[in-house]
Amino acid sequence: MGLDDKAQNKADDVAGKAKEAVGSATDDKDLENEGKGDQVKSSVKDAGEKIKDAARDAKDKLS
């Protein structure tokens, strides 16, 4: 996984947590849910990058 990808995924996660917190504090369920969704997207992207890294490592070991 590239450093840029890791940083972007972390930024998306932090932004999602902030949206969720603001939505919760202001009783804005839409914003709260949007923040939770952003966190899920970040986690899915991070998992995809980890799978790519594992596949690349496995390929390198077979070479």
In a 3-state reduction of DSSP, which class is residue 1?
A: coil
Please state, in angstroms and as integers, the Cα–Cα distance from residue 15 to each residue in 9, 28, 47, following that order.
Answer: 10, 16, 18
- What one-character DSSP code corresponds to residue 26? T
Cα(56)–Cα(20) distance, rounded to whole angstroms? 35
Please state, in angstroms and as integers, the Cα–Cα distance from residue 47 to each residue in 17, 37, 62, following that order.
Answer: 18, 15, 23
Residue-wise pLDDT tens digits, 9-32: 999 999 999 999 999 999 999 999
Residue-wise pLDDT tens digits, 38-53: 999 999 999 998 898 8
Is the whole model's pTM more than 0.95, yes or no? no
